[in-house]
Amino acid sequence: MKRLLILLLLALSSVAYAQLSFYNSDAYWSNFCLQTSCVEASVTDTCLVFVSNRHLHPDNLRFVDEYVDTTGLKYFFLRKRAGKWNVYQASSLKEAMLLLPEKRDIVVYTEGMGKIFTTNVERALLMRSQYHVNVVMFDYSSINTTYKPTRNFNFAKKNARLSAPDYFQLLKTLQKARLDKEDWVQDVKISTFYHSMGNIILMEMMQHQPYQDLNSQPFIDNLVINAACVPQKKHKEWVEHIQFASKVYIHYNRTDWQLKAAHILTFKAQLGEKVRRQRAANATYVNFHGQGERQHSYFLNFPQNDYRMTDAMKEYFGSLFTGNTAKLKDDKSPLLISN
């Protein structure tokens, strides 16, 4: 089994690197243009907001690089027209959010390993289009296109840990916007979604940042720990300190092959793979075994993937991302959710 999983990891890495070469090509990057001034979008435009801690190189085709810049966050408003993305740098999250053409519920989305800027745009776009939400992507460097898979595994983990202070500052900004009743957060729900290694950022923040500053009252509606590539053991200790979210969800799937491979590489059972005991009292645990099959990213339908979410899953994630109480319905597995 161990040998099979290692071979699978190598196969998955080969597919991922083939896709990455496409998204990192000069031809693909030519679809992105960093602009010098912001222009308001119309309601027909497709728009995203990015909060990034990558280094910025305004004069380059690849205007953001593959390294973490811990000196400060950068805010981008992205507008797509005729297949091209215009990228505008904003002075603050508020400025970027006020450029969005429509008020929708907000998902602050943090991805896992293997994403350059352009692949994060694709994922944010899929989430926006499939769930009709405004997406704020926390964009950090989770791969170096010159490294081999094993080195990138450690590179991504390190950068996720380095990004925790920046993510803490993003949450402080959201908290202040709620307290100040800023227009862009009025009458909308805000959810935070962490996928795979993105959960390292959350875990590291809860273990090493002054999270107590966030806990005065909930300002996040749903906090979602999805397919977490973090140790299952002792997760209760840091999850139970999350008091800034009204509801906490933890998704796991024991047939997730990528997390099985991470288990072998780290010698630790992963939280998104299985939950045996010592569950956090403030979290709802959702078991995707069966509906998620062997998938790792089972929350989106990808054009290049044959796997398709069930209607029950679409309904579940639709409720989740709009800040509502979510229940996964499956007559075959009536005990999918437990507290």
54-79 pLDDT, tens digit per residue, is 999 999 999 999 999 999 999 999 99
Q: Residues 236-240: what's their mean pLDDT?
A: 98
More confident residue, 295 or 194: 194
pTM over 0.85: yes
Q: SS3 string of 227-283?
A: CCCCECCCHHHHHCCCCCEEEEEEEECCCCHHHHHHHHHHCCCECCCCCCCCCCCCE
DSSP 198: H
The answer to whether 64 touches 50, Cβ cutoff 8 Å, is no
- How far apart CA 275 and CA 265 sit, in angstroms, is 19
Q: Is 180 helix (H, G, I), strand (E, B) or coil?
A: coil
What is the four-CA torsion angle of 163, 168, 174, 176, rounded to 10 degrees?
A: -140
pLDDT value of residue 331: 44
Among 102, 4, 90, which residue's Cα sits nearest to residue 46? 102
Give residue 333's pLDDT band: very low, low, confident or very high (50, 70, 90).
very low
The answer to whether 159 touches 52, Cβ cutoff 8 Å, is no
**55 contacts: CB under 8 Å, gap ≥ 6:** 64, 65, 67, 69
Please give the structure tokens belonging to residue 149.
Answer: 């898979």
- How far apart CA 178 and CA 181 sit, in angstroms, is 5
HSE-CB at 139 with a 13 A cutoff on CA atoms is 29
Number of Cβ within a 10 Å radius of residue 125: 18
- How far apart CA 102 and CA 297 sit, in angstroms, is 27
Percent of the chain having pLDDT more than 70?
91
Q: Residues 122-137: what's their mean pLDDT?
A: 98
pLDDT value of residue 295: 87
The answer to whether 119 touches 106, Cβ cutoff 8 Å, is no
pLDDT value of residue 9: 55
75-115 confidence digits (pLDDT tens): 999 999 989 999 999 999 999 999 999 999 999 999 999 99
